[in-house]
Amino acid sequence: MKQTVSIIGAGTMGSGIAQIAASKGWNTIIYDINPDTLEISKTKLEKILNRLIEKGRIDEQIKRLIQKHITYTTDLSSIKPSNLVIEAIVEDLSIKTKLFESIDEIVDSNCIIASNTSSLSITALANSLKDPRRFVGMHFFNPAPLMKLVEIVPALQTHPDVVRKAMQIGSDWNKIVVRTKDTPGFIVNKVARPFYSESIRMYEEGMATPAEIDSSLKEVGGFRMGPFELTDFIGHDVNYKVTETVWKSFFNDGRYTPSFTQQQLVLAGYLGRKSGQGFYSYPNENQPVNVNKDKATAIVNRVIIMLINEAADTVHRQIASVEDIDTAMTKGVNYPKGLLKWADELGIEECVRRMDILFDEYHEERYRCSPLLRKMVRKGQKFYGA
């Protein structure tokens, strides 16, 4: 029988997720409180599908089929026939909680209810349902139809069958699914913190300019975008908020302390590309800069070791498996290599040595070496294989 999914919120993420579901033949209902947003979502989908036709990826008939699968509504009671509900509204715990209480009353008891939240606790959201066992996090990445990764996040209360079904649906929708514990930032938004924060730190210390750091990480590190151009692209309000939430949610752990420099950008309204000014001015006519080889290597090494240490901490806390962490970072944010594979290649002993050099220099919490790396050195272990 045909499956029905309801997507709650027709913004950036909701529209993308609806496109995926409809393309996979699901009856797709998109609900939003704002009729204009629904109209915009519909028009955008039309444009996207036309572009796919131009590229020869789909034909006119498939386009019409996808559109036929989607119903747009401002009436929440229309979501009644759903097998799955995915919420993608504004990131606000009390607004989401109220919405889940209403959804709980409308859909059947065997309908899975999921949230695409990036930073709220799945366990707290599950608590808004009478039966929290049917709740799960399904965290897509932007743009949802293009990014391969979905993080599946069981709440403390989630029934194992619900986790299995959510993972199966993710795979059926051609996504690569990873499983993560309900901890701040899940895998990707936790492990990626040092990419931004350590780069900003080097800039604050006068070690290099944003352009030099961006060039080094792209040309020597193999990253698709540098941290300064990337945060300008994401928006400093959004990126700062994620950092702040992860920091607060880990009970102000010094490893995640937000940067004063980025806070200043937000306070000034220098939000990046969308405001015309961030670390760079837009339109950005900066040419790639040449960075002295030793300096570029030092920059890349420092960012990589901090990322590896964060990935090791994620294994150590049993938030996710080694394989899932590497998959998440390569498929969710396009890192050139899995960080734990990178650690093996560098040698675990060398990773510990590099962290200890940083800690000796600063004596700050952010540079404390993951105990897992030390234990692995003692036992002669690697992340992959013996």
Ligand X SMILES: NC(=O)c1ccc[n+]([C@@H]2O[C@H](COP(=O)([O-])OP(=O)(O)OC[C@H]3O[C@@H](n4cnc5c(N)ncnc54)[C@H](O)[C@@H]3O)[C@@H](O)[C@H]2O)c1
Judged by CB under 6 A, does residue 95 bind ligand X? yes
User: Which neighbouring-strand residues pair with 30?
Assistant: 7, 72
User: Which neighbouring-strand residues pair with 4?
Assistant: 27
The token pair at 163 is 């986790």
Judged by CB under 6 A, does residue 158 bind ligand X? no
Can you list the pairs that 243-252 forms with residues at least 24 positions away whose Cβ atoms lie under 8 Å? 243/193, 243/196, 243/197, 245/119, 245/184, 245/185, 246/119, 246/184, 246/185, 246/189, 246/190, 246/193, 249/119, 249/121, 249/183, 249/184, 249/185, 250/184
Residue 139 bears catalytic tag: yes
Task: Return the number of the residue (6 or 215) whose C-beta is nearest ligand X.
Answer: 6
Distance of closest approach, residue 31 Cβ to ligand X, in angstroms: 6
Residue 159 bears catalytic tag: no
Task: Return the number of the residue (34 or 168) whose C-beta is nearest ligand X.
Answer: 34
Distance of closest approach, residue 12 Cβ to ligand X, in angstroms: 4
Binding mask 96-135 for ligand X (x = CB under 6 A): ---x----------------xxx-----------------
Task: Return the number of the residue (117 or 199) whose C-beta is nearest ligand X.
Answer: 117
Task: Return the number of the residue (93 or 298) whose C-beta is nearest ligand X.
Answer: 93
Distance of closest approach, residue 125 Cβ to ligand X, in angstroms: 10
- Per CB under 6 A, contacts with ligand X among 135-154 are 140-142
Distance of closest approach, residue 46 Cβ to ligand X, in angstroms: 17
- Per CB under 6 A, contacts with ligand X among 54-93 are 88-91
> Which residue among 27, 139, 198, 229 is the active-site one?
139
- Kindly indicate which of the ranges 3-11, 149-157, 265-273, 341-349 contains the residues binding ligand X, using the contact rule CB under 6 A: 3-11
Distance of closest approach, residue 307 Cβ to ligand X, in angstroms: 20
Judged by CB under 6 A, does residue 321 bind ligand X? no
**Cis amide prior to 143 (ω within 30 degrees):** yes
Binding footprint of ligand X, residue count (CB under 6 A): 23
Task: Return the number of the residue (101 or 364) whose C-beta is nearest ligand X.
Answer: 101
Burial class (CB in 10 A: 0-12, 13-18, 19+), 77: exposed
Task: Return the number of the residue (41 or 83) whose C-beta is nearest ligand X.
Answer: 41
Binding mask 5-44 for ligand X (x = CB under 6 A): ---xxxxxxx-----------------xxx--x-------
Residue 151 bears catalytic tag: yes
> Which residue among 87, 151, 212, 229 is the active-site one?
151
Distance of closest approach, residue 221 Cβ to ligand X, in angstroms: 23
Please state, in angstroms and rounded to a whole number, the distance separating the CA atoms of residues 27 and 151.
23
Distance of closest approach, residue 87 Cβ to ligand X, in angstroms: 8
Task: Return the number of the residue (238 or 377) whose C-beta is nearest ligand X.
Answer: 238
Which sign does the torsion angle of CA 201, 334, 192, 262 carry? positive
Please state, in angstroms and rounded to a whole number, the distance separating the CA atoms of residues 306 and 310.
6
Q: Which residues are catalytic?
A: 118, 139, 151, 189
Residues that bind ligand X in the complex, under the rule CB under 6 A? 8-14, 32-34, 37, 88-91, 95, 99, 116-118, 140-142
